[in-house]
Every structure is written in structure tokens, then in C-alpha cells.
Amino acid sequence: MDIVKTCEVDIWRFNMAIITIAEAAELCGKSQKTVRRAVAAGKLKSTKIQNKTRIERTDFDEWVKNGCSGTEEQDNNVKKNDDVNWFDISADWNKDGWHNKSDMSKYNFIDLFSGAGGLSCGMVMAGFNPVASVEIMPQAVETYEYNFIEKKGFDEKVETRDIRESDVKQKLYDSVKDKKIDVIVGGFPCQGFSMAGYRVVDDPRNSLYKEMKEIVEHLQPEVVVMENVEGLRSMLNGKVEEMIIEDYKKIGYEINLTVLNSANYGVPQFRKRVIFIGNRVGKTNYHPKPIFDESTYVTLGQAIAPYMTMPEDPEINHVFSKHTLEMQARLAAIPEGKSLYKNYSDAWKKSPWDKPSCTIKENHGGTNVHPKLPRCLTAREIAALQSFPSDFIFKGSKKWQLVQIGNAVPPLLGKAIGLAVKHMLDE
């Protein structure tokens, strides 16, 4: 499938700093009505220039990255009912390879675009052995190495360079040449796909998708798992999703996919992600059957309650933001479920105590407001909302800790996926 041919637009339009409603709709493959709804709901920031609505390109790209949040319209050619094979993971849910090495299995995995290691942590919980990872952010690599190698003692090669470089891939191949690779997991960036196909092939961020596919084709794991934002499904009116399925079919992998909500797997946060699972050995692709619902969700309050009276402790990433008395009063006055700023509804937000948190974002993870105290949540508290174990420590400055946490796959979601994949391999 040649996605580039879906639309041809001059390069100057691709690079525009300010775009119109019509251009935004064309770029993301949605209707103008949908874009206007997102603007009206405060999900997509805009400004008035000569009494006309205009959108900064950086705000638009961020909105697309976060799944075009605030839109309710679904493209007709995106499947509403996926062909999903659900596996009940509840019997193995109490197993935890992160804290109990006796729950580990014989299966090995590689994590591409590992970040700080949220998905890797979940796979270890499910009993998988990490043998290699690749991540370009130095702070995230420092975090990964500290938790997986220094603390947990895994014999693992961690590569801290650009996965697009041929020598980086070769080092990866050399590091695992004596090991059987059962699974490759990765959450490739998708921002380039969001540009409506105008320069899909040329966008450097999309090359990361191609690099992952190249590594999978070279190493030939039995199973591949890909994670991404829910909005990927509607990018280019579903054509990106179709391309991924077809690309992997060409290299021998049958793919099934669906959207999973992290709250359904014990994560105290509403966080939806599309999960692609494929194999090349003729097995059934299983997704984990939800094991939590509205009556049993783990709440924000349950997750952060242990830190309510805890003093600051930089060693565990529990450092308070320094607010003025005026700001403390403003934060205290925010009603649960509302934000400090009227037109910025997904930041400076006070999620209800007795429900899962709103989705934690990389770009403003530090401005989630505490429901009971007049301050923002600490990195430790936000990590708890992402379901990271309390002994998982983040390196770097507070800014970079928050970036790592906000970018991560919730470990418990990773565990659920890992348990379903383990069942595939066991069959």
C-alpha cells in the first residue's frame, strides 16, 4: 500500500506553523466538525487571528499524538468490532516475576523504544526475561539500567543510541546472537503518521516504525507486540493501521489488534492504547481479557494514599512542587474532575479520589493536582498512577522523571499483555 499517494500537498503546507480548521481536518483525516468539537471542548488549543480560528502546528501535533482526545466521531472505515481472541489471565494474575524470581519463565524478549522500562517491567512481571533494549533518551536509559541491571541483576544489553544507525542494530544483533528471542515488544513513535500521509515515508519519526519492522524481520521472534496511542487507528482514515497489518503479513506475521484500557488491568488510571499482537508460527494471537471493571477499578486514592503523610524523599522521587500561598489556595479550590484553567482541561487537573486518574501525559505530567492537598502530585505519586512498583526508581532531574513516567506503558498493562502472550507460547 502506497500511503504517500493518498494525498499530495505542497511541502510548504506540511511545514506550516499556523493552520486553519480545514487544514487540521485534512491533516488528521477527520471532519472539520470533529476538529471544531475538539477546539470547543478545550482539547485542541486555538487562537483567533483576525476573528478566524487558527491552530499552532505544535498544539495540533500534540493533540494528534494524544489520540485526538475530545473527539467522538469514528471514521467509518475503522473497524468497530475487532477480531479479538480473549484469554482469561486471572488465574496467573498473582504471579509477579519482578518481585519473585521463581515466577520467571524460559522466554526471552527485547524491548525497542523501551523508555524507562514500563512495558519491560510488565513483561518481567509476567515472567519474561529481558535480554536487550534500545532507547535514545539518556535519562531513560539510566533509569532502565539502574532498575533492571543494577537492582534486579538481569544480564541484559542496553543500547543508548539511535536505532536508525546500522551499527546500533548490528550491536543489538551481536548481543543476542547466542540467545533465542521469543518476543520483540515496542511502542514506536507515530507522530509522523499523523501528518495525513503527505510525507509519510520521509518523516524521520516514521522511519522508527520501519526500523522496528526491519529488526523483527532480522531476528524472527515467534511473537511481536506493538503498542501505540488509540488515535493511530483513525490516522489516514484507518490506512495506517491497514499498512501495519499488511507490512507484517509480508514478513510472515499475522496480526490482531484492539484497544485496551489500562484501568481494566488494575492500573489506577484511564489510559487507552491500541495493542498489535502478531506471530509467525500459526498460533492464535491472544489479548488479555479485562479482569477489572467499574465496580473493582483501583482508584487514584488507593494508589497515592500511602504518600499522603510521607515527608519529601528524593531517593524515591517524592519531591513536592514549590507553590506560593496564592497558588496553593487556587489548587485547593479546584473541584474534583476539573482543571485550574478553563481552556486547558487535560492539565492542572484534579482527578477524583475515588476513581482512576485521568490519562497521565508526558508533556505536563507534573501538573496533575492532588485531590486532597494543595499541591501537584509528585513523580512518585504519578508513577503509582502508572502502576510502577514502589521500588522502581527514576533517574535524572524531576523534569526528566516526569517525562519518563508520562511516556511509559503502565507496567500492569504490560503484565496483562505478557500473560496473554505467554499462553500463546505455551500452547
Nearest to 210 by CA among 277, 278, 159, 164: 164
Residue 112 gets which letter from DSSP?
E
Of 28, 121, 190, 376, catalytic: 190
| Cα separation, 348 vs 95, whole angstroms | 36
| Cα separation, 249 vs 147, whole angstroms | 35
Burial per residue of 249-282, b for 16 or more beta-carbon CB atoms within 10 angstroms, e otherwise: eeeebbbbbbbbbbbbbbbbbbbbbbbbbbbbee
Q: Are strands 272-279 and 223-229 parallel, antiparallel or unpaired?
A: antiparallel
CB 392 within 8 A of CB 121: yes
Bridge partners, residue 359, by sequence: none
Residue 406 Cα distances to 42, 248, 356, 365, 381, angstroms = 21, 28, 16, 6, 12
Nearest to 415 by CA among 380, 382, 388, 385: 388
Say whether 190 is catalytic: yes
| Cα separation, 318 vs 380, whole angstroms | 5
Provide the 10 A C-beta neighbour count for residue 302.
14
337: cell is 474532575
In the chain, the amino acid numbered 353 is W
- Backbone phi, then psi, for 358, in 5-degree steps? -65, 170
Instruction: Name the residues annotated as catalytic.
Output: 190
